[in-house]
A and B are shown apart, each in its own frame.
Chain A
């Protein structure tokens, strides 16, 4: 079997970036959540808010650490797997990534230690300032990365002379046409991710009848934020849809599952299709009548543009784009329904006692991460076959490296990242199982790698020490 280096380079980047994006999404959302919780603690002096802060601080720190490490890998991959892209796009992308390091990383690195270990060493207000700085750092980081990625989606502010890209207007490069809409969309996704995580863990404790005060507060905070945020996200998503329809019509044509230049009238809204890219038609399609016209054209009989409007050699693969969009949008609808249900139950004073709703919250815990991943798949697969839309094709951006080198590094990444994910999940589950009262603000050292993967070992050792006065002394 002959391996294609271009395909392997793309699979490797897709895998590493998919793994990476889960952690910044979590840490951006949790950082701002921690700001809110610490502000509530400072204002009310209610110790339960401090308990919530300490509990989520540990999970935030682990997510932050893995996010930073896996993010650095991506920068190396630009040069190693996509050297032609790095060469051409370097003048525009390079300074933005450097600015991310200089502004966001320095800010985060400067205050993260104070945030993690300074709670009882400095004043509460100064500690709150450190938490705010870390949260602002995560926002700045997201801004620069979204600016770089949005420039790849809607390039602006550049000129090309003799195959070389030159920046002619930095403001247009940074504030490119899609950035003002994609940044709030991504930030809201991060906040939604944190909200559903927080609500899900709180709901789990309520179902287990444990840590009830902590659980009630976290469920109330999580569902309240999620309800407001999902409404904003739906609004922002619609605005972004209109922007991408203008700048990247092929993406939205593929996302809706229509092939013909104009769909039938009224257009259905497809939820399931079996597309055939070769014959440019759907082998099977299942949708809700009228809904396509209503949602996409805001009329009862509007027609939707199909993918045949884009030349074949410039079309993305419809199946990938369509299902990524449906996964993201479907989850947004479910989140909105959960938000409305939480309002109704709060009004009925049954928010904390409706077991069916608490179970839904538990199952919705990872929903934000899944929706964010789906959104990124939509953004990236919909931009194909371009890496810089309309300027550089992905196939032309790949490095001239042997397929064997890419395959071996891909296998290594899968192995190392599996360990990362396993460690993160083990320690997170361990923190959740311990509960808020006992939750450490960091993952305790276990003494050996073997013990690190045995969540009970330290607990038993700690219990043994606690129960033995001589050892404790």
Chain B
């Protein structure tokens, strides 16, 4: 019983850690895109960054559906 609860706690912590790590990664990638798009690395990189960002957004919104409302 104790083992089950401990395992559940570990799994919950792991999930929280994975989410936090994922959010941090997304924030870093987002910051990189922002700096690129505002032209810190030049106009060529800014255009390329914008195109890549838009393509990623389009793919994410069209491919990853099926989210259920569970508030």
* Contacts from A to B (Cβ < 8 Å): 206-207, 209, 212, 215-216, 220, 224, 227-228, 231-232, 234-235, 237-238, 294-295, 298, 333, 336-337, 339-341, 343-344, 346-353, 355, 358
Contacts and interface: CB of A to CB of B under 8 A. Distances in A.
27 contacts: A215-B69, A216-B69, A228-B57, A231-B53, A234-B37, A234-B38, A238-B37, A294-B40, A298-B39, A298-B40, A298-B42, A336-B34, A337-B27, A340-B27, A340-B30, A340-B33, A341-B26, A343-B26, A343-B56, A344-B23, A347-B60, A347-B64, A348-B19, A353-B67, A353-B68, A353-B69, A358-B71
Interface in B1-52: 19, 22-23, 26-27, 29-30, 33-35, 37-42, 46-47, 50
B24 to A, nearest CB: 10
A339 B50 CA distance: 13
Interface of B: 19, 22-23, 26-27, 29-30, 33-35, 37-42, 46-47, 50, 53-54, 56-58, 60-61, 64, 66-71
A351 to B, nearest CB: 5
The secondary-structure label for the interface of chain B is: helix
Contacts of A295: 38, 40
A209 B70 CA distance: 9
Given A224-B61, A235-B46, A353-B71, A348 B37 contact: no
Contacts of B61: 220, 224, 227, 343, 346
A353 B56 CA distance: 22
Nearest to A355: B71
Contacts, number: 91
A343 B38 CA distance: 20
Contacts of B39: 235, 238, 298
B57 A344 contact: no
B33 A231 contact: yes
Contacts of A344: 22-23, 26
A336 B27 CA distance: 11
Contacts of B40: 294-295, 298
Nearest to B52: A231
The secondary-structure label for the interface of chain A is: helix
Contacts of B53: 231
Contacts of A224: 57, 61
B46 to A, nearest CB: 6
Which 6 A-B pairs give the minimum distances between C-beta atoms? Answer: A340-B30, A344-B26, A224-B61, A349-B67, A238-B39, A238-B38
Contacts of B50: 231-232, 235
A280 B58 CA distance: 48
A37 B39 CA distance: 33
A332 to B, nearest CB: 9
A349 B64 contact: yes
A228 B60 CA distance: 11
Contacts of A298: 39-42
Given A224-B61, A343-B56, A352 B69 contact: yes
Contacts of A352: 67-69
A337 B57 contact: no
A25 to B, nearest CB: 23
Contact of B67 (A227, A237, A340, A350): A350
Nearest to A216: B69
A231 B71 contact: no
Contacts of A232: 50, 54
Contacts of B37: 231, 234-235, 238
B30 A238 contact: no
A29 B68 CA distance: 29
Contact of A228 (B42, B54, B71): B54
A236 to B, nearest CB: 10
Contacts of B33: 231, 340
